[in-house]
Amino acid sequence: MIKVLVRDITSKGVAVDQTIPKESIGLSDEEIDLRSPISVKAHVTKAGDMILAETTVTADFGFFCSRCLEEFHSVESHDYDFNFELTPTTEYIDIGEEIRQEMILSNPARILCKDDCKGICAKCGTNLNITQCTCT
Ligand SMILES: [Zn+2]
Ligand SMILES: [Zn+2]
């Protein structure tokens, strides 16, 4: 949970800057492969009966290349805009739950280790990024 109290949101908004383990927003290893804690920066503002949280999430993501099947990881940042409805009884908003859902949804299923990944040879299984096989 990343709690932002409504009473803390001034006319200039409030800044959130936290580094959290993925477990603290309910992400499991099955849902997402992260090699670092999650850095969360957000600017939270109030507009009428809405709360807007402009959020940047940075973490070291683990992947498997869908072409050569090698494991790799890369640090990536994602920007999200979250809207919350502000009711008279709203005491706080939870950015953490929104981040959890977005990170699961936006985690790409198919990704390449590099744009020009040569993949593996269909005949002998050699990783053609590392060596050239003799198949024709
Ligand atoms: Zn690859
Ligand atoms: Zn081959």
- pTM, entire model: 0.84
Separation of alpha carbons 85 and 39, rounded Å: 25
Domain ranges of the chain: 3-106
Rounded distance from Cα 63 to ligand 2 centre (Å): 24
pLDDT of residue 46: 95
Q: Hey, which residues does 39 pair with through a beta bridge?
A: 19, 58
Instruction: Please write the tens of the pLDDT for every residue from 75-128.
Output: 999 999 999 999 999 999 999 999 999 999 988 778 899 999 999 999 999 999
Separation of alpha carbons 28 and 23, rounded Å: 6
Rounded distance from Cα 75 to ligand 2 centre (Å): 32
Rounded distance from Cα 127 to ligand 2 centre (Å): 9
Q: Give residues whose Cβ lies within 5 Å of ion ligand 1.
A: 65, 67-68, 113, 117
pLDDT of residue 108: 75
pLDDT of residue 12: 95
Rounded distance from Cα 130 to ligand 2 centre (Å): 12
